[in-house]
Amino acid sequence: MGRYRQNITSYLIVGPFAIVLAFPFYWMLITALRADNDLYDIEQVPFKFNADSPTGANFRFLFEQTDYGKWLINTAIIGAAVVLITLVVALPAGYALARLSGKWGQGVGVGIFLTYLVPPTLLFLPLSRVIAELNLHDRLWSMILVYPSFTVPFSIWLLMGFFKTIPPELEDAALVDGASRLGALARVVFPLSVPGILTVVIFSFSLVVNEFVYAITFISSTEAKTISAGVPTELIRGDVFYWGALMAATLIPAIPLALLYNVFLNRFIAGFTGGAFR
């Protein structure tokens, strides 16, 4: 009986929140599938399909009449490059801060993390000039160069948390067995930290997909935009709105990212809080 009551309490609290938080996605989905003669007829009930709905026309429009496909590719290229740079820089640093650096390591770790709090909105003005001086304006390189500035501090913090959960005795054992420190790292620590590294990959990539301020500052040509910059600046023009296509454009990256977040959520929590605040 008590168990039932508890369950019902949980539903009563979580239910309303879930409705408010998820309703916009229902609204996006139904809009993305509605035909124009249904969407822009105020006599129709907007929660269901009427007239020529449902239709795939909005998705077709998005890929055939706009540069959305190009933006997806740009985002993937930048994401992959930034994640690679991030891992090369953050993996050794995260490991060293967790293991090798003793007392001052904690201080440096927190210091690096604080730089994650310096927002793009403080840095975009000077960086816009630097990018212009380097002739990187309108080129994907501008974002590949600058985005690690927020993925690296964030990833070092997460990796520090992960490496701390791997017992140092395992490495010591490998060292005693005659392995070099780098050898122990490659053969003992690395395999154990794969889940943590994957978490860092997912969340760094999603930070790249999310970025907006730098993207609209550095890029003005349509072909070089990411989805976050392209959709709001190119598909919303004056009074011409392609709402069906806009909602399709939002759902396409949102659903896979949400699924990935759910898979890696527990590890994210472990890394995020494992760093220090404990």
Give residues 249-268 in contact with another protein (rule: CB under 8 A): 249-250, 253-254, 257-262, 265, 268
Q: How far is the CB of 182 from another protein (least distance, A)?
A: 6
Least gap, CB of 130 to another protein (angstroms): 7
Quick one: 166 or 229, whose CB is closer to another protein? Answer: 229
Q: Judged by CB under 8 A, which of 59, 95, 157, 163 binds another protein?
A: 95
Separation CA 50–CA 132 (nearest Å)? 50
Q: Which H or E run contains 52?
A: none
Q: What is the SS3 assignment for 111? A: helix
Q: What single-letter DSSP state applies at residue 222? A: G
Total of chain residues touching another protein, rule CB under 8 A: 99
Residue found by looking up tokens 């989905």 in the block = 29
CB atoms within 10 A of CB 127: 19
What is the end-to-end Cα distance of the chain in Å, rounded? 36
Nearer to another protein, 76 or 110 (CB): 110
> Of 28-57, which residues contact another protein (CB under 8 A)?
28, 31, 39-40, 42, 46-47
CA distance 252 to 256: 7
Q: Which is nearer to another protein, 50 or 149 (CB)?
A: 149
Q: Which of 25, 49, 141, 190 binds another protein (CB under 8 A)?
A: 25
230 contacts 8 by C-beta, under 8 angstroms: no
**Site membership for another protein, residue 77 (CB under 8 A):** no
State which of positions 197-226 bind another protein (CB under 8 A): 206, 209-210, 212-213, 217
Could you give the C-alpha distances from 121 to 146, 196, 214, in angstroms and in order? 13, 29, 8
Nearer to another protein, 88 or 194 (CB): 88
